[in-house]
Amino acid sequence: MEKHRAGNRRRRLVVVPAPFQGHLTPMLQLASILHSNGFSITIAHTRFNSPDPSNHPHFSFLPFSDGLSHSDSISSHNLTAITDTLSANCASPFRDLLLRLTTQNIACIVHDGLMYFVDSVAQQLNLPTILLRTTCATNVLAYHSLHRLLSEGCLPLQANETCRHADERVVPGLEPLRFKDLPTFISTNSDVLQYQLNKVQHGIKSSLGVIFNTVDCLEGHRVDELRQIYQVPIFPIGAFHGMAPDSSSSFLEQDHSCIAWLHEQAPRSVLYVSLGSIITWEEKELTEMVYGLLSSKQKFLWVVRARAIDVTEWVESLAEDVRKAIGDRGCMVRWAPQKEVLAHEAVGGFWSHCGWNSTLESMYEGKPMICQAHFGDQRVNSRLASHVWKVGVEWSGDVMERGDVEKAVTKLMVDPQGKQMWQRAQQLKRQLRQAVTQGGSSRNTLIHLVDHILSFS
């Protein structure tokens, strides 16, 4: 496409994804976009959750050791613990990898904001870095609010003498986010929280730029705020998947049988249910979900991810009339080709955990959401989708209860409120698509990004 832009200068980018589905996917998409703009790509990756090179024949792949044992990797969904282990173990192997590549040939390292060790190694070798933050831009501003609340003694967020009803209060400067929407980390320990926040801020300050998979029409003013705070170039060039050639980066095998099932359904008649790559459900919650979905009388395509039980056995344990009702109304898979599902005309809405990739993919296809956030940035995304972009029904219950499921599904798929969200989602879809076409905001920003990287080499 724009290969000439890179000329004869150093054009190799070393790209370092974090080994989680919601991070690897956007990083590989970004790498494809940069490759289309004339850069050679080396993916430097952990052995844990490593990408499949055969899906990306135009990149070279180099693993480095991460010190994670097989049991660490499969038993822990604790992102913080895994990233800390990577920080402790990866600097030296990553440095050796760069030296093998001959550093003079490297234009820049593009790394995930969770791969904290990259910065110090890059500094030692005098290599420039650019950061990819895989969340929305508002989420980084929310870290700043957390920082302030921490210094005011308002964290952890439980109500106390000075901060009674803290959870419901609106965060100054980030309205309509409430305190309870802030992306608290898994730890509620103030020292740990402070340490995490410092790492986020230090990572941005020591980079020569930050890339976001976001779009000006969603968060332009928030991106401007970040530019003012950090005084580094910030590049909102989303939605990545709207510019990157399609290629799989799924750790799990996608079950395409659900697409054939969708072909048989009426337009906008199906609710797609998927709560991302990390969250799993207990048996009791699955049972509440299935009864709620059936009571709503809507069709559903459900990615069922269960904790400690076998889904097939669980389905078999349900009463015969329930199993029959599922057969008439639902399709259940372990992992779906999500972007294809969301693009399908039969899908009328998405019950989502509001991971940033899912949120953006849904809006890109004009599908309104039930927003059921669980942790971290999901709460920020949920609040923005429901109260700023107005394409989502905010889940308000604390526990999974069939009555709440039925109400939320009906609101999204049947009620006039849901129909308004559908209209709003169509407008947003047009804006998001416009941003990635020639002359659109993300395309223009991409040109600046390419020039910025070339200015280092």
Look at residues 154, 187, 196, 186 and name the one whose alpha carbon lies nearest to residue 171: 154
Q: What residue type is assigned to position 290 of the chain?
A: V
Asked if 242 is part of the footprint of ligand UDX (rule: CB under 6 A), the reply reads no
Q: Minimum CB separation from ligand UDX for residue 451, in Å?
A: 28
Asked if 361 is part of the footprint of ligand UDX (rule: CB under 6 A), the reply reads yes
Stretch that binds ligand UDX, among 62-70, 90-98, 171-179, 350-358 (CB under 6 A): 350-358
* Whether 183 contacts 379, CB under 8 Å: yes
The site that binds ligand UDX (CB under 6 A) totals a number of residues, namely 25
Asked if 431 is part of the footprint of ligand UDX (rule: CB under 6 A), the reply reads no
Interface with ligand UDX (CB under 6 A), residue from 129, 362, 372, 378: 378
Q: Minimum CB separation from ligand UDX for residue 22, in Å?
A: 2
* Whether 304 contacts 332, CB under 8 Å: yes
* Whether 30 contacts 211, CB under 8 Å: yes
* Whether 404 contacts 293, CB under 8 Å: no
Asked if 119 is part of the footprint of ligand UDX (rule: CB under 6 A), the reply reads no
Asked if 335 is part of the footprint of ligand UDX (rule: CB under 6 A), the reply reads yes
Asked if 42 is part of the footprint of ligand UDX (rule: CB under 6 A), the reply reads no
Instruction: Pick the closer one to ligand UDX by CB: 288 or 361.
Output: 361
Asked if 250 is part of the footprint of ligand UDX (rule: CB under 6 A), the reply reads yes
* Whether 409 contacts 372, CB under 8 Å: no
Count the helix, strand and coil residues of the chain and give each as a percent rounded to the nearest 5. Answer: 50, 15, 35
- CA separation, residue 187 to residues 155, 171, 193, 399 (Å): 11, 21, 7, 21
Stretch that binds ligand UDX, among 4-12, 17-25, 207-215, 220-228 (CB under 6 A): 17-25
Q: Under rule CB under 6 A, which residues in 173-202 are in contact with ligand UDX?
A: none
Burial label, 275 (beta-carbon count in 10 A; 0-12, 13-18, 19+) = buried
Q: Minimum CB separation from ligand UDX for residue 276, in Å?
A: 3
CB atoms within 10 A of CB 394: 17
Interface with ligand UDX (CB under 6 A), residue from 368, 376, 392, 440: 376
> At which residue do the structure tokens 């968060």 appear?
219
Judged by the rule CB under 6 A, the positions of this chain that interact with ligand UDX are 20-23, 25, 134-135, 250, 274, 276-278, 303, 335-336, 338-339, 355-358, 361, 376-378
